[in-house]
Amino acid sequence: MQETIARHGGERVAAALQAHGVRFLFTLCGGHISPILAASKALGIRIVDVRDEATAVFAADAAARLTGNPGVAAVTAGPGLTNTITALKNAQLAQSPVVLLGGAAPTALQGRGALQDIDQRSLIAPHVKLVRRVRRVSGLAPALEEAFEVACEGVQGPVFIECPVDLLYDEASIRKWYADASGKGSSIPDRLLRFYLNRHVEKMFAGSGEAVAPVAREVVRPEPSGSAVEAAALAGSGAGGSAAEARGARRKLSR
How many percent of the chain have pLDDT more than 90? 56
For residue range 168-186, list pLDDT tens digits in order: 999 888 888 888 877 788 8
The pTM assigned to this predicted structure is 0.82
How many percent of the chain have pLDDT more than 70? 89
**CB atoms inside a 10 Å sphere around CB 184:** 8
Q: 157 versus 107: which is more confidently predicted?
A: 157
For residue range 123-164, list pLDDT tens digits in order: 999 999 999 999 999 999 999 999 999 999 999 999 999 999
Class of the CATH-defined domain 9-169: alpha beta
Q: Which residues contact 170 (CB under 8 A, 6 or more apart)?
A: 7, 8
Q: Which residues pair with 75 in a beta bridge?
A: 102
Q: Residue 253 pLDDT more than 60?
A: no
Give the integer Cα–Cα distance in Å for 167 and 150: 23
| Three-state DSSP state, 119 | coil
